[in-house]
Every structure is written in C-alpha cells, then in structure tokens.
Structure 1
Amino acid sequence: MPHIFGLFRVALIAWTLFYTPLEAQISLQREHVGPVPDVKATRMNSTGVSVSIWTKNGTRNETAPYASGIFFEDIAHSGDGGIYAELVRNRAFQGSGVTVGRWEHNLPGQQIVKAENPSLPFAPVLDGWYPVGDAKISLDLLHPLSDSLQVALQVDVPLHAKGEVGFKNDGFWGMAVYPQTYNLSFYAQASGFRWNYTLSKFHCSLRNNHTGDVFVSTIIPLNQSTRPVPYMYRKYGAQLVNGVTTSTSDNSLYITMDAEEIKGQTLYFDLISLFPETYKNRSNGLRRDIAEKLEEGNFKFLRFPGGNNLEGYSIARRWKWWETIGDLVDRPGRPGDWSYYNTDGLGLLEFMYWCEDMDLVPVLGVYAGFSLDIANYDQGNSSDANELPIELMGPILQEALDELEYLTGNTSTFWGARRAAHGHPEPFSVPFIEIGNEDFFSHNYPERALFMLKGLQAVYPNITYIYSAMDQFSEHFGNFEMTLPKAVIWDEHVYAEASWFINHFDQWDNWQVASFDSRVAASKDVYASLMEYHVSAFDMEIDSRDVKNTDIISHPRMLSAVAEAVYAIGWERNPNTFKLSAFAPVIQNFNFYRGTPYLILFGANPKDDLLSVSYYQEQMFNTYQGTETLPVTIDQGNFGPLFFAAQIDNLKNVIYFKIVNAGNSTQTINITTDRPFMNVNGTVLEPPTSGDKNAFNSFNKKTLIIPKKILGLEEIQYRPILDKNTTGASFSWETPAYSIAVLQFNMLGTCEIDKAPTQSQQKEMASALMAQVPLEYS
C-alpha cells in the first residue's frame, strides 16, 4: 500500500475475505446502514471552478489503451459456481472446503478449524449428492476415471428396491431453470460382480426439490453396445431442451433408473456435468449472464489466474497451468486459496478464450516461488516458510517458459503442438506478464523476480513485465529494499478508506521522479499500475491499527464510487506513467459472500444478478474513453471537491470531460473550449436523494443508482466566444453533490492539433453554431 498502514490494510482485507465464517451471509435487503461521516479529505475548499480546455496548443498524450480491466481469481465462488457455467457441484469428487480460524491449542496464527471432510481437510466428500429412491450412494477409490480423477460415485441398488432409483445433485445453491438447451454428460462403469447387463436406459431430468415437478427430461437408451461395462468407463451425453421458466432455483439434476432392471447391481459414475447455454456458445464455457455484464463494462484486459489463488497454500499446491489444460478427465483440481476446492475446469485455455471472446488483452500471472500459508495468513507480516531459495528457482522459470510456449509457440514446438491438439492451432498474443503476486509478504522477492525477469526476457523480450511488490512510499513496507529494472510496471494494491483515494488524487503526477528519485537511474522508464483496489472502509482515523470490522464497507456506496472515480481521474491524467487498473474482487456469489465490495453480486438464478454503483462508475469511464488527453487549465478555484480531466476522441470528434463532485453540496463548473462545439450531451451517476453518499444498490432496489442522461443540457446557455484571437465556446453546469458525470462536447470541425481552422473557417463554424444554438452570445 502506498502509505505506512498499507500492509496492514492488505492483511485486513485478506482477513475479511478469507476468515468470515461461511454461515455469516449478509442480506442486502436487511443490511443495517449507519450514518457515514463526511469525507475526511483535505481537498474540500472549492465553491466552484472555471476551466479552459485546449485543443489547439499544449501537450496531448495518448490515453493508456488498457487503463481499466478485469482481475479474476476464483474467490467467493466466482469461478466454480460462478462465471464457470458448470451447474453440478462436486461433479468429480475432487475435494472439499474448509473454514480457517484460531485454534485454542496455544499455537500461533491460524488453523483449519472446520472441514467438510473432518478426517482429511480438502479431501473428497459427497456434498451436493443425494440418493433417489432405494439407492445407496458412497464414494469409491477402486474405480478411478483417470489418473487425475481418482474418486467415483458408487451407486448400489438393493435387491428389494422398487420404482425409480439413482441420484441427484442440487448444484451450487440451486439450479436455475429457464428456456434453453442444457448439455448433460457423465461417465459410468459397471461392477464386475454385481452386473447383469439388464439396464435399458438412463432417465435424466431437472426437477423441483420440494414439489417433485419435472420441468424437462430425456432418456438415454442403452443396448448391448452402449451399456456400462465392468472393465472401463463409457461416456454418455444428452440434451435437455427446456421451455419452462421456474420461479425458484431450488431445483436438482436427477439421473435415475428403473429398479426392476437394476436391483442387486452396482454402478460407478464420475465427472457428471450439466452446462447451460454459454457465453459465445463455448464448450466448457462461461455463464452467459455474468459474462455479458462484464462485456458491457467495456473493460480492456483480463488479469488471471490470481491473485492469491496463483500462489497456493503451499508450493506444492500452487496453480499448475499444465494441470488445467486438455480434457476435463485430466484435470485433478487443487485446494483453492479461498477455502474451497477448485475444479480447474476454468483453466488456462478457457481464460484465453475469455480474452478472445470479450476482446480483452491477457495479463498472465506466473508463479514466482512464493506461496501462502494458512498459519500466518492474517498476521500482517511475512514468512519465508513457503518461499523458494534462489538456487531452486530454475524449475519455476521453466514452468513459466513452457506456459508461454503453450500459449504463443507455433505448432512445431512441443507445447505449441499440445495447444493445437487442444483445439487452438493459432498462437495467442500475451503482451503482459506479472511475476508473482503480492510478494511484499516474502523476503527474497528482489532476487527471485530478477531471476524470473532475466530468464523470461531472454526468450520473450517483447513482453511487458509487471513486478508484484512495491515499497515506494514507506521504508517500513515490505521486508526488502528494491529498485525496478527499466521498462517494467510496478503493481500497487490499495484497499483503503474513501478519503485516502481522494487525498491521493495527484499520486501519479510526476510519480516516476517523485517516487524513485536516485534509486532508479532511468525513472522515465518505470511505469505504474493498480491491479487490485476498492474503497474498503468508512473514513476513520489512521493514527493506529485499531480498525474494527464495523468500519468495513460491505457493499459499494455512492461514496465508494465517488472516491474511486476521483482516483481514476488522477491516473487518467497521467497515461505516460499509469498503465493498468482493476477493481477487486470483481464478482462474488452471494451465497458465499465475504462481506467486501464487488462489481457484480450473483446467485444461481441470473435474475438475481446485482450490479453495484462501482460497476456503473467503471462502465461510464470505460465507455467514454478518448484517444488523447487534453490540457485543462484552471482559471478560477482548484481541485476539490470537483475533480476533472478532459480527453478527445479524434475519430468521433468529441471531447469527454469527466467530472466528480466529492462534496456534499452542488458545485458550479464553468467550461471554456478554444474551438466551437455544436452541443453537449451528458451522463451522470448520482444518489437518488441529493447528497446521500450512503446509498447503494440492493436486491430490493437494483437500479437505485444507475447512469442516467443529464436532462436539460440543451437549455443551458453555452455561448460562442468571438474575438480576433479565438473562436470557442463556454458552458456552465451545476454538478450534483456526490456525483460522477461525463460531459460530451460534440465539436464543430476537426480538432486535430495540426489542423487548426483558418480565420474564415472559424467564422463559418461560429455562424453554424449560432444557427444551431440561438442563445445569447458575445
């Protein structure tokens, strides 16, 4: 963190995310909302501002093309049970979840205090699976589907069984049923001793758990050549073509048989999968509703796979990319870093398809020799218990090189050929690599990072590399001193109170020189990013570390979005320095909600998707993005509570003026341009009641705060300015309290800096402007 308490704040947010008990779910409808104090920012002294936007002179900079993106890791079931569209929970019996807390056994740090499998934490369980009829179900280790999937579901049908028998799965807190085609697949094998080859069909259906209503069903017929056999697994598939919309997600997938045909017999099942229709119709793809909302956010990159989930709870349990590719039967999964087992169905290739389908640039995180440890996770300090010494880093570097060969190598290479065999012969482009994640918790990152950087650059010199540790603002932050090699990007993570974001609005102004001074020889070649951030807390005194859970903001408020927008304007003003940003965490399943801010909150049913005010702030800024920054001079007043910046889109010939009012009263903004414009459009994000910075979107009021067209702009007097030196126009607007707005100036004539209109052209444009806007002018 770029202040002395940054490390503590990272530890605090990690503790909040990880150690909230699973039972502590928060109802958005019932959340108690207390008063929020006024923002404790130092930039609150303005009573209005007058500015000039310059297109003819001054310095323009190309805007950062990837300034805003998506940071994804599987947290709060954002992957399994989230954007990964698989509907069946525990589909291959790979592992289970745990709860971490303090153990009363005089041990320092944290322990696993509760586990779904109490005998062996993270080991397989039957959660999600239930017998149907007289069938008995259990786990089986003797009939593995593959080397990677070692546990199967054993289904025994007693001799006395009658009627329908089999099993069901209730999904990730339910299964939504609505009109679409569901794709079902599973593997089955017969018992060698208890098998009579008498089964004629599998009956597959979606049903309500309480009423038993069958919404859609199909039959998989069996004959002598397709029945399960004792010596191997056979794969079965079917489509469930549904035309029904249900009012509840309390539904299950049923796979059943006729007891008369199979009584006294045993079958083994594994990798039982049900997919709805997916985003872009990708096989093994993304959940359509969540992916489409992310697409509508107009983000520019995807950072994956983490985050903490890259590192693992131990070195052996790190994210191993080669175990996430190929057929699902070859993916063992792993204990995830957020208390539940990951299937790795959303693997490396699926992430790249996500980038392709959403037109995102990949920012690939590679493991760099440091893993987390449950025991010290919330200690606010570091440990080298899971840190590799530099002499053992060779295989880690080779893992990253192999991964890049898999993604970017041609088909003549070993890993490039593997990628082609997996269905993507064309190489991918990988412009960014992040080396590790949050390595300020470690001790020897400077050595490890430099080792990785040199090894990667030797083979891939054209990739831009990102360092995951920083010590720029405090000598007490982290456990080492380090300087950055040239041309790398510094990754900063900020979880702080609203006033911190506002007070650090100008953090990126002259950042390279101010931050590194003599520690970096060529500071102009060092860049910055903010790959994790959100407003995490109410404003509070920060002269101690006594931060209570009650200070944490659970749901993004209007104040949250305002502060985040102020900070974003700060980095948009500095595209030569600042390159990448990503809110974190971006999506959370509300059934496993960790009590921290989000962009999208979701459940089993797409109709329950909730977009936060922070989502809409990002969507606005991403949508109205120019191609170059424009100089803005302040003629009267100063920054605070109004914060603003201007960009121009040369192709559309429009100026975007982003403005945030972080104050509790309406503020006047007077804007003058040095060229004439036809009219002004505007979009604003503001609280439903003037000055209500505490407002937020909830399940009861999903659209309480959404971007809206600014009405009445056509009635505001904006005037052409005509004199012998300039032809421009002026405009005034009353900026609402605690609001975020984008004003779009639709310009007359070209605004390219080297094509300034002549005096005669200026007069023609001024006449056209006056004809369209017959208002008072001088």
Structure 2
Amino acid sequence: MKTFFSQRLTCNSFQSLALLGICFLFPLTIQAAKGGKKISPDLFGLFFEDINYSADGGLYAELVQNRSFEYNPTERREWNPYSFWEYITPGFSYGKISVETSSPIHPNNPHYMVLDIEHVGHEANTPGLSGVGIKNSGFSGMVVKAGDKYNFSMFARQLSKEPIELNISLQTPKGKVLAETKISTSTDSWNKYTASLTPTESNDTVSLVVLATTKGKLAMDVISLFPEKTFKNRPNGLRADLAQLLADMKPRFIRFPGGCLSHGDGLENMYRWKNTIGPIEQRKEQRNIWGYHQTTGLGYFEYFQFCEDIGAKPLPVLPAAVSCQNSGGTWRVGGTGQKAIPMDEMQDYIQEVLDLIEWANAPATSTWGAKRAAAGHPAPFNLQYVGIGNEDKITPEFEERFKIIFNAVKAKHPEITVVGTVGPSPDGEDFTKGWKLADDLKVPVVDEHYYTDPNWFISHQNRYDSYKRNATEVYLGEYASWGNKMRNAISEAAYMTALERNGDVVRMASYAPLLAKKDFTQWKTDMIFFDNTRINPTPNYYVQKMFSANQGDYYFDNVIQKDEKDANLAASCVQDSKTGDIILKMVNFGSESKPMKINLKGLGNVSSKAEQNVLTGDAEAENTLENPQVVVPIKSIVKIKKAFDYSAPAMSLTVIRIKTK
C-alpha cells in the first residue's frame, strides 16, 4: 500500500529577494512524529446505494415523479405509465390522453404521453385558465421557496399542424398559482423546451401543471423540474442540503451505486453503467431491486462529479458477471437465485468493464473519454479503485467469471486497484471461499460486510489484529450495529478506533445504508433519515463524521492509557501528516465516566490549545425528524499539556484535534 506521510511545501519566491532577481527554494516538510506506523490515507468514506428512495425523491434533485412515463406494474402492482400524473380539463374543456410507444425520443425511453386537446372552454364564470393538461405532485408534494428559480424542461413534438400554446405553472393543492410561464411548440420533431419559474411564496405541497390552452395534439416526454440551487448549482444535480451534509463529512471515497443494486435482481436487472450516462432522455430506466423505480438520472457521470466536488475518490462497483444470489425473491443469506452471464458473452462484458476505466481516465481524444468530455468534463476523473462484485455467493460460476475480469483489468490497467468480495457475512462458507480466491489471485483489496448488534462490535475490536500484513487488504464496505440509538453509534465508534489501529491492513471502511426517506424505508438501520423538508442526522452520522473529518495517515500506540481490562473503553491516536495535527479519539461505551491518561511526549511541539468535540447522551437516546437535536456533538476549545488526564463521559465519543508547531 502506498501512503505518503509528509508534505513538501515550497516557497519559490520572496518579494524582497525578487527585487534582486534572486529566487531561493526553501523546502518545508511536515514529518510524522516518530514511533508510529503508516496507515491508509483512505480509511473512512461513504457508501451510497439507491435504497429507501435515496436517489429519486432523495439525493437526486428532480421534483417530478415518473417524468418519462416509464413506471409499470412490475415495480409496484398499482403502478403504470400514468402513475403520479393527473388528467385535468379546467374551464369545461375536454380531450383525452394516452401513453404510446410508436415513435419515442430514444429506444431506451420508449413511453411518452400524447395529449389530444379537442376543445378549450371559454366559460365567462370559470376562474383561471381553460385547457387540457396534466398535473404532477412529485414525491409526496414538491417543495418550493419564494424567490428561488426552478428550471422546467420537457420534450414535445406536434402531432397536429398548428403550434400548441402551453401554460406551465406551479400550483398549491387549492389551485393558487405561485409561478407561471408560457411556451409554444414549434416542430413535428422531438424538441426540448425550457422555461424558468420563480414562485411568489414558499410551499411544500406544490404541483407542476402543464396545460395546453389551444386545440391540437402533441406528444410529451421527460417533463422535468429542478431547483436551480442544486449542490454546486449543477444541472441535473443533487439536493443541496442532503449533499452538503455528506460533503461536511469530508469522506476520502464514495462507493456507488450499490450494494445489491449493482448486480441486480437477475441478469436483466444488473446495473449497467453505460445505460446511465449521456443525455437523460437517452438513459435506460429500470426497476429497482428494492422494489421501486430508478430513472438513472443520478448516473455514473453525476456520481463521479459529486466525488470530485467533495474531494472523495470514486469507487464504482460493477457486477462480477453474476446477479444477486437473492434474485427472484430468495432474500436470505445464501439464497440460490444467482444467475451468471453466459461464457460466450464474457468478452463483451469484460470490454464493458475496461470501457469504464477509459471513460473515467482516458484523454478526451479517446473514444470513451470523448463521451465524458461531451458531458462537460474534458479532464479525466482520476479513477483509482474499481469494485468487482458485491457480497456474492462464492459459487464456481462466480469464481470463474471474477478471475477472468480481474486478470483482464490487471493486464490492461495495472494502475487500477481492484476491490473483490468475500460474501455477505463476517465468517462462514462464502467468507472462507472468498478469502481463498483473493489469496490465490493476490487481489489487492476485498470487501467485507457485516450487520450485527452493538455488543458484537464491542467484543470484536481485535478482529483485524491478527490479519496478515503485506497481503490482501480489507475494505469494510458495509457495516452497522442494527440501530440508531446512542448505544449503537458509540459501539461503532469503539470499533472504528480498532480500524484505525489496523489501518495498515484495513484500507477503507463505510457505514451502510447511508440515506432513508420517511415512509419509504426498506432497511431499518440508516445513517441519515429525511423527508422533503427535514433532515435527521442520527448519532451514527455524527460518529462517522467525527472520524471521517478527523482522519490521519499515521497511527501511534501508547499515547492514550486506559483500563485495558475494560472492553467498554477504546481509544486511538493518529496524525494527519498534511497538517501535522495530532488527533485523539476516546470512546466510553460504559454507563459511568472513566479516566484516561494522555501522554504527547515524543509527538513534537504541540499547541497549548486544541479543538474538542464530544458526543454523549443516554444509551437509548435517538434523533428524530421531529427533533433532530437530541444528540449532537458539542464543540469547545480546551487547554492542552504534554501530559494530561481526561475523564471520558459515559456513553461518549471524544475527538481532540491538536495543532503542532
């Protein structure tokens, strides 16, 4: 593992010397203190999977639901292409609507709405506009803010001779118009029309209304509404408040798009990255393995762009040419629904994997680099990691295909670190087989997953102490302690100090799942809960943030002394060699405060003041959407000596960040 634990800063000119035409180079190196060991600089990051409505209706900022009329009963029995659209005929108008497929914008987007306006009423006593149209209330209502801009777009083509006038508006449930604009169709070919809407007042239950006010017939598709204020103001971007909460964690990497979503519910449901790039009207939507719809509007380009925006390394996970073993409803550990891509199709699939690396890293003059550049990113994304497989059952079919893919990537792109998989559990048959395969192939990193109770995390803090060094490293890609109470979060904090202690063999770690929308949750343990207007960071979120935003790349033993017989106590000391900061983390899972002794001698000259963050509370305390501030970290500035005592509060995590001189 390559790590860098010093930063070379160069002073290449000074004004006083520049006047004499003299330039000196003064090297300044911030060295890690002696006596420790190098650990991974990429230890703590994020794992994003579209589960619990994390993407559409969540992190992805699109406000229209079923914008392309692609919903169908295979996703939900009650769903169809008309779902979440209401047919409206104000002013005693009449006509009809239909969903058709004969001449779509693109084969990947086969359905579109046809609006036939047979009569536009003109009753004198009818308030508001008359016409024939459709209305969409989004994901349980659209949230708009007064004075903010919202970007509307749609594709349309005339099916009748004359142009059709359309009124586009944002309306409350009682029909009050908060913003409106007009557009007119101009061609019998598919054409994109755009407009801007600025509401006069804020409201969280708005609907988008598209109303034809002249007779005629037209086809419509990809009817979209985005807040202009997305994260970093990106078009087709992310919900700003949710994205900022993730950015605040300062993760070193983001794993995406899953999880079980990656290898999918059967071969036809695999997440194929090429279907998720390019113009949104050309992307292929499909059923989500978690039982709802994914537009792929949040696709590979947006994932990579988000990683870049927050300074995280991308870690895309591609199927290992097999589907999820739980395909077909066999949702049990060790399910038997795994299907494998036929061997005569493997060369095409291998090329798909290699094309991703070219798309991410090749110059804009290459075939796939040009597609990235066309999307607005000429420079490479600097991809370093690629995951192959997700907690798969280690069958002969899996082993054969993983080996072919791994060897192909290693031969063509030795600079890429492949992350393998060792099944869904911390032990057992798949775990043993997965590790044997990794050892045989010398896979650089493998992905371990486990969800269990808090006591397991407390009692297994030595798990990685005995792992082989200078061999295959570990990515703990998914873990959680089955709950969002304080005791869950602090048990995870204790375990995370052990991950730092073993940061020479544990390359990366990420809690899972990340996001969950209220009333749309398939998984009960999540880091952040939200609805359309509110966000609830759990105690688990704060623990993850306190570690992730305070990472180091050098670990020191014996800086923090505690009662080694007390399993409820845990601690770690790391240094960030880029800043020189010394970071102490102290955990108490017990019900009473406990003493710890800190000795900073040998760590250089330290500042007399430090930033301290303490997360503590009742073991059963938890945050809610209604009250998200029950448990939050308390920040303060504290005095520091070379040696000092600290009393760790009951059920707490304390992080002290100390500057070095």
What TM-score results when the alignment is normalised by the length of structure 1? 0.74
| Mapped partners of 2:343, 2:428: distance in 1 | 24
Q: Distance in 2 between matches of 1:635 and 1:503?
A: 19
Stretch of structure 1 that moved more, 611-620 or 595-604: 595-604
Which of structures 1 and 2 has the larger relative contact order (alpha carbons within 8 angstroms, sep 6+)? 1
Distance 2:158 2:593 in 1: 73
Alignment deviations for residues 509-565 of structure 1 (CA, whole Å, 9 cap, x no partner): 1312xxxxxxxxxx62210111111111xxxxxxxxxxxxxxxx3xx1101110111
Q: Give the Cα–Cα distance (whole angstroms) in 1 for the partners of residues 578 and 249 of structure 2.
A: 21
Between the aligned partners of 1:317 and 1:232, the Cα distance in structure 2 is 32
Q: Secondary structure at 2:540's aligned position in 1?
A: helix
Write the letter of the residue equivalent to 2:399. P
Residues 362-373 of structure 1 mapped to structure 2, 5 A cutoff: 362-372=314-324
**Which residue type is aligned with residue 225 of structure 2?**
L
Q: CA 1:146/1:388 → structure 2, altered by over 3 Å: closer, same or farther?
A: closer
- Structure 2 partner of 1:500: 456
Query: Displacement, 1:451?
Result: 1.2
Return closer, same or farther for 1:379/1:672 CA change in 2, 3 Å cut-off: closer
The residue number in structure 1 matching 2:14 is: none
Query: Match of 2:55?
Result: 79
Measured in 1, the distance between the counterparts of 2:300 and 2:657 equals 40
Aligned pair partner of 2:162 in 187, 197, 200: 197
Q: For residues 164 and 125 of structure 1, what CA distance do their matches in structure 2 show?
A: 19
The equivalent residue for 1:251 is 206
Query: What's the CA shift for 1:127?
Result: 2.9
- 1:180 counterpart (145, 148, 171): 148
Larger Rg: 1
Query: Per-residue displacement from partner, 1:447-489 (whole Å, max 9, x unpaired)?
Result: 2221111001111001111111259964534694633232511
1:571 aligns with 2:538: no
- The answer on 1:127 being equivalent to 2:87 is no
Q: Does 1:115 align with 2:77?
A: yes
Q: What is the letter of the counterpart of residue 138 of structure 2?
A: G
Q: Return the alpha-carbon distance in structure 2 between the equivalents of residues 422 and 628 of structure 1.
A: 39
The alpha-carbon distance between structure 1 residues 279 and 565, as it changes in their structure 2 partners (threshold 3 A), is same
1:463-542 equivalence runs, <5 A: 463-470=416-423, 474-477=427-430, 480=433, 482-484=436-438, 485-486=441-442, 488-512=444-468, 524-536=470-482
Q: Is the 8 A contact 1:530 1:582 kept in 2?
A: yes
In 1, distance between residues paired with 2:395 and 2:85?
Answer: 38
Deviation for aligned residue 1:293: 0.9
The one-letter amino acid of 2:355's match is: D
Q: Is residue 151 of structure 1 aligned with residue 111 of structure 2?
A: yes
Asked if the contact 1:61–1:575 (Cα under 8 Å) also holds between the matched residues in 2, the reply is: no
Q: Alignment partner of 2:623: what SS?
A: coil
Which residue is 2:27 aligned to? none
Contact 1:387 1:442 in 2 (8 A): no
Residue 736 of structure 1 aligns with which residue?
Answer: 649
Q: d(CA) in 2 for partners of 1:460 and 1:307? A: 24
Deviations 1:45-78 (A, max 9, x none): xxxxxxxxxx9653x2233221111211211111
Q: Is the 8 A contact 1:183 1:275 kept in 2?
A: yes
Residue matched to 2:350: 397
C-alpha distance 206-333 of structure 1, shift in aligned 2 (>3 A): same
Structure 1 residues 98, 684: CA separation in 2 closer, same or farther (over 3 Å shift)?
A: farther
Specify the alignment match of 2:193 in structure 1.
236
CA distance in 1, matches of 2:319, 2:418: 13
More displaced stretch, 386-395 vs 614-623? 386-395
- Structure 2 counterpart of 1:491, one-letter code: D
Alignment of 1:84-99 (within 5 A): 84-96=60-72
Paired residue secondary structure (1:457): helix
Q: Secondary structure at the match of 2:647?
A: strand
Taking the aligned partners of 2:205 and 2:460, their CA distance within structure 1 comes to 47
Secondary structure in structure 1 of the residue aligned to 2:37: coil
The residue number in structure 2 matching 1:289 is 241
CA RMSD of aligned residues (A): 2.4
Task: Give the 3 Å change call, closer, same or farther, for CA 87–636 of structure 1 in structure 2.
Answer: closer
1:473, 1:89 → 2: CA distance? 39
Which amino acid in the other structure matches residue 227 of structure 2? P
- Taking the aligned partners of 1:56 and 1:326, their CA distance within structure 2 comes to 48
Q: Following the alignment from structure 2 to structure 1, what is the Cα–Cα distance between the partners of residues 305 and 474? A: 27
Q: CA deviation at 1:441?
A: 6.1
Matched residue, 1:338: 290
The 8 Å contact of residues 488 and 525 in structure 1, kept in 2 or not, is answered as yes
Say yes or no: does 1:641 pair with 2:554. no
What is the CA distance between 1:708 and its match in structure 2? 0.3
- Give 3-state SS (helix, strand or coil) of 2:104's partner: coil
- CA pair 651-154 structure 1, distance change in 2 beyond 3 A: closer
How many residues align? The count is 610
Further displaced range: 419-428 or 79-88: 419-428
Residue aligning to 1:596: 524
Deviations 1:575-627 (A, max 9, x none): 2101111111111221312251222222222xx11111111111111222234
Q: Give per-residue Cα distances to partners, 1:419-447, cap 9 Å, x unaligned.
A: 22332222221100111111126443222
Residues 1:142 and 2:105 aligned together:
no
Structure 1 pair 441–380 and aligned structure 2 pair: CA distance change class (3 A): farther
Show structure 1 runs of 5+ residues with no match. 1-54, 100-113, 118-122, 513-522, 537-552, 720-728, 750-778
Q: 1:266 to 1:451 in 2, by over 3 A?
A: same
Q: 1:653 to 1:304 in 2, by over 3 A?
A: closer
What pairs with 1:543-558 in structure 2 (closer than 5 Å)? 553=483, 556-558=484-486
**Alignment check: 8 A CA contact 1:382 1:441 kept:** no
Q: After superposition, where does 1:96-107 map in structure 2 within 5 Å?
A: 96=72
